[in-house]
Chains A and B, each alone.
Chain A
Amino acid sequence: MKKLSFSKTLLFLAFGVLAILLVSVFIGRYPEPYWMSPKILFQDQLAQQLVLNLRLPRLLTALLLGMVLAAAGSVLQMVFRNPLVEPGFLGVSQGAAFGAAVSILWLNRHPLVIELSATFFGLLALLLSYLLSTRIRYGGWVLRLILSGVAVSALFSAGIGILKYIADPLTELPELTFWLLGGLYSVTWRDFFFVLPFALAGITTVYAMRWRVNLLSLNDDTAFSLGASLSRERIILLVMTVSAAAALTAISGVISWVGLIIPHISRRLFGASAEKSIPAAMLLGGGFTVIADDLARTMLPGEIPLGILTSAIGAGLFIYLMISFGIKVRRDG
């Protein structure tokens, strides 16, 4: 009975996201600010071009971005048994941006090369944070993880700083600055199809393994006694989510807070069990990011970088949730 009502809720959410996507097609600044009447689509060639080649790929990429960040955030929070983790906290975003920067400066500006480089450095950052946290000799698990994540993030942002300093101010620097602000303004179909396999692989893996994710959030000895192959399952989940998040970061730049706040909201609405909270988080994340991107491209005549908007809205929501409900951070082991 209960299960049925949840799948209905999920279906409802999915329709909601679909509706947001549909409405978003007509939101923009052409031909006039905020809204394009659907009628124009049948008459105006430029409008058709705009919707087909600019808005659609951008909307779909925003959807994937939100879904992947929310999925990665949920998984990281549960696997690390820490409700305050998101890809950015573990240095993954900064690592990915650094990888993208290295690729722009020294390797190749082809999207695939940038993505692979971003993914590689994103994973490297995760690995460094994890290893470092096991080496710190004081503090609880949360503190050690956050400390090492902060250190690794700082290391990579210093790296980005150096790269910015030596970059050619006319050609390379503008492109680099783009990563740090985070936005989807240059997304084309080609970009979308580059990230699609990474995103689908990550989303499908997380969705398929959502029940197992619960097990990994228990104490090691309990999880082991319940038959989990801890290191193998953790590595599969981390590699799949982080590579998807890193690949999307290569397209979008650093988009923070979605991966932190959406899993919290989802758990609050649908309970802690990942069986429900992960699929719901993906839909909520997708919808949230599409709306944030709508605002980013329509509010001002110029574009507001998406990363700034998600930070502002995300941090606002976070503060609201903390004050009104208290986000539970229990750490006793």
Chain B
Amino acid sequence: MDKILSLENIHFRYYPDSPNVLTDLSLDIPAGKVTAILGPNGTGKTTLLHILLGLLKPFQGQVKVSGKSHREYSRKDLSQMIGLVPQFESIPFNFSVFEYVLLGRSPYLKPFQLPGEGDIRITEDALKSAGISHLSEKPVTEISGGERQLVHISRVFSQQTRILLLDLENQNRILRLLKQMSTQGKTSVLTTHDPNAAIFAADYFVLMNRGNIAAQGELNQVITAENLSTIYRTPIRVEQTNGYTMVVMDKI
């Protein structure tokens, strides 16, 4: 496996005197694939994403990007390499969709530089590949929640990073986009608490439970009735229909 991101024995807590959120966690993310990090709410998925991004520093352990430690990259280099779509983003000012997506070009600009023709073209392409060119002139505060997620995705597209980290609510349209990106050699890491969304989009699966990795690997190794029932603490069945794997819960 060609790994592009790896975590080695990560320990993390938010304050020195608070309990660990992540304990001795190790994880490899394969390059050019869609990896789903699956687990119940509050199990540390977002924290894990922030550590991969470099926003949070682990209290112990190593984060490596393409085999080099985070610390060996400058802020600029790292931001040309890893992009983020957060779970929630409040934008207090009325940027137009275009102005907002253009901000994805900042990793390529010098501190006092303004975006040029090339950046504008890349931004237009990013809007096009997310299928929202028609929203370009609308204010970001006046579009729907679903459109807003596509706008965030376009921002990461215009950032042109090899690695995309996504803290998503499931949306088929976005999952499809990620799948397309992986055929162009991009690596995506997305978090979700919905196993079926993960199955729909991902090639590689990471099951998280209480700040640690319960299982990681291919579909049939990870998405098993036994694994899922344990971490979600409820009986869950995994069924095969016409070669498609589906996770079902018994009716209450």
Contact = CB atoms under 8 A, between A and B. Distances in A.
A268 to B, nearest CB: 9
A331 B159 contact: no
B78 A330 contact: no
A275 B105 CA distance: 14
A225 B90 contact: no
B103 A218 contact: yes
Contact of B86 (A222, A329, A331): A222
Interface in B84-110: 84, 86, 88-96, 99, 103-104, 106-107, 109
Nearest to A236: B111
B92 A331 contact: yes
Contacts of B95: 214, 271-273
A227 B93 contact: no
B55 A81 contact: no
Contacts of A221: 50, 53, 55, 84, 86
Interface stretch (B4-12, B112-120, B208-216): B112-120
A203 to B, nearest CB: 14
A329 to B, nearest CB: 8
B79 to A, nearest CB: 3
Interface string A29-58: 000000000000000000000000000000
Nearest to B99: A273
Interface in B48-84: 50, 53-55, 75-76, 78-80, 82-84
Interface in A135-188: none
Interface string A258-276: 0000000001000111010
A235 to B, nearest CB: 14
Q: Chain A contact residues: over half helix, strand or loop, or mixed?
A: loop
A224 interface: yes
Given A221-B84, A225-B83, A227-B79, A212 B90 contact: no
A82 B91 CA distance: 10
Nearest to A2: B120
Contacts of B165: 225
A211 B113 contact: yes
A225 B94 contact: no
Given A273-B99, A328-B141, A209 B111 contact: yes
A272 B94 contact: yes
Contact of A333 (B82, B90, B93, B115): B90
B99 A271 contact: yes
Contacts of A214: 95, 99, 103
B92 A217 contact: yes
Interface size class of A (residues with CB under 8 A): 20 to 34
A271 B54 CA distance: 32
A313 B104 CA distance: 39
A226 B107 contact: yes
Contact of A222 (B75, B84, B141): B84
Interface in A203-260: 208-209, 211-212, 214-215, 217-222, 224-229
B83 A218 contact: no
Contacts of A224: 53-55, 84
Interface in A65-83: 78, 81-83
Contacts of A211: 106, 109, 112-115
A16 B50 CA distance: 48
Interface of B: 50, 53-55, 75-76, 78-80, 82-84, 86, 88-96, 99, 103-104, 106-107, 109, 111-115, 139, 141, 159, 165
A-B pairs, 6 with minimum CB distance? A227-B79, A225-B84, A333-B90, A272-B93, A227-B107, A273-B99
11 contacts: A82-B92, A83-B93, A214-B99, A217-B92, A218-B103, A220-B55, A221-B86, A225-B83, A229-B75, A272-B139, A330-B141
Given A82-B92, A212-B106, A227-B80, 16 more contacts: A81-B92, A214-B95, A214-B99, A218-B91, A222-B84, A224-B84, A225-B79, A225-B82, A225-B83, A227-B78, A267-B94, A272-B93, A328-B141, A330-B91, A331-B90, A333-B89
